[in-house]
Structure 1
Amino acid sequence: MEGENTFKQWKKQSLNRLDLSKKGSIDRDVANIVSFINSSEHHFTTSSCSGRIILIDGVAALQKSSGDAVFKFEPCVLHVQCRQLEDAQLLHSVAINSGFRNSGVTIGKKGKIIMAVRSTHCLEVPLSHKGQVLVSEEYIDFLVGVANSKMDENLKRIERFYNCLKSALEPEEVKTHLKEEQSDKKTVYRRRRKRIQDSAGSDGGVKNQSESDQEDDLECELTLFS
């Protein structure tokens, strides 16, 4: 009980904290994921980034570079604090299956369990050294194309992660309802199969059943197992 109260306190403090990032708000492409995770009683986000393509040198353009300019693509990253280890393990499994294969779990000295959702498809290329440009404009155009492709894949992984996360963390009553629906479908199929068997003659034929009726039964059977 004490551990649960401590987690709730950590969550409250984290969610009430001011956003100190340069943007000052959550990225649009991960806003749904962050909101969904924070609605869970077992998790909350401590930081997030949907991914970015940047030129690092402290200047506005490569031509004005005075140091070592680096072109980078950084994929989505999320840090999620979890109430218990099994909560982190579930999140880790969802992340790995969604393509975020560099994800991992860490446990701090105070018992904080952090799950980092990370990917491996990064890109980092030096473009200049001590102000001297090392690559051609054609190569820069090529790098931009590669980075854009990686961003497209990054956004697909974000969507896949969100969908898998909703399935994994959906309320128990929803899971129970789905199980009941599946059970009802199996019951209907068993009754239909028994009706067909009861109408069969001793020679293995089917009495009073037209060809179209048989097709309907087959269609129903295929639908139930789709």
Structure 2
Amino acid sequence: MLWCVSQMTALGRATGDVVLKFEPFVLHVLCRELRDAQLLHSAAIESGFRNSGITVGRGGKIVMAVRSTHCLEVPLSRQGKLMVSEEYIEFLVDVANGKMEENSRRIDRFYRCLELALNAAASTNNAPPEGTEEDRPVYVRRRRRRTVPRGARASAEDHGEELEPEDDTGSSLGILAAVLV
């Protein structure tokens, strides 16, 4: 981003509020298994995205958010009146450009860390035998039962329902790796 005289002139002609704003990279990934989200989370934290986190919804939906805190939002004018000097605006533009460069470096680091983690996970996934506790997903989505009137005794079988895990509980890392490449 380069600040020039024409932008300063445009800022002087503004009739409303003007805000200089920079927002860093944000990525939300829906994960099939908690260990996939944990792998992504580790890569994000190692890359500098310190505000990243994992959320598990009521239905077992696991979302990993890659976020950072290095944003910038500064008002420049209020109702058409410039509130800061041109020198301060140039300073803010330099700060925003620095944040943009840092954002790009973090994204590159995240990609490299994730690539290494995916390669390591792929090589260790071949090692454990099937059926181990490690292979089972932590969260299993189940169908909701029909509500039964109070006092009535009924089971899922009485209603012809069976509580089953979702059909495909395989790892989603291969899909994410294909998207990132």
Question: What TM-score, normalized to structure 2?
Answer: 0.59
- Could you tell me which runs of 5 or more consecutive residues in structure 2 were left unpaired when the two chains were aligned: 3-8, 128-181
Residue 162 of structure 1: which of 101, 111, 117 is its match?
A: 111
Structure with larger RCO (C-alpha < 8 A, sep 6+): 2
Matching residue of 1:123: 72
Superposition CA RMSD, Å: 2.5
1:21-40, aligned counterparts within 5 Å? none
Q: Which amino acid aligns with 2:46?
A: N
- Could you tell me which runs of 5 or more consecutive residues in structure 1 were left unpaired when the two chains were aligned: 1-51, 54-59, 177-226
Matching residue of 2:20: 71
| 1:105 equivalent in alignment to 2:79 | no
Give aligned-pair identity as a percent: 65
Matching residue of 1:142: 91
Question: What TM-score, normalized to structure 1?
Answer: 0.48
**What's the CA shift for 1:104?**
1.1
Q: Which amino acid aligns with 2:89?
A: I
Number of paired residues? 119
1:162-181, aligned counterparts within 5 Å? 162-170=111-119, 171-172=122-123
CA deviation map 1:143-176 (0-9, x unaligned) = 1111111111111111111000000011327998
| Runs of 4+ that moved beyond 6 A | 173-176
**What's the CA shift for 1:73?**
1.1
Q: 1:169 to 1:137 in 2, by over 3 A?
A: same
**What's the CA shift for 1:132?**
1.0
**Matches of 1:117 and 1:80 in 2, distance apart?**
8
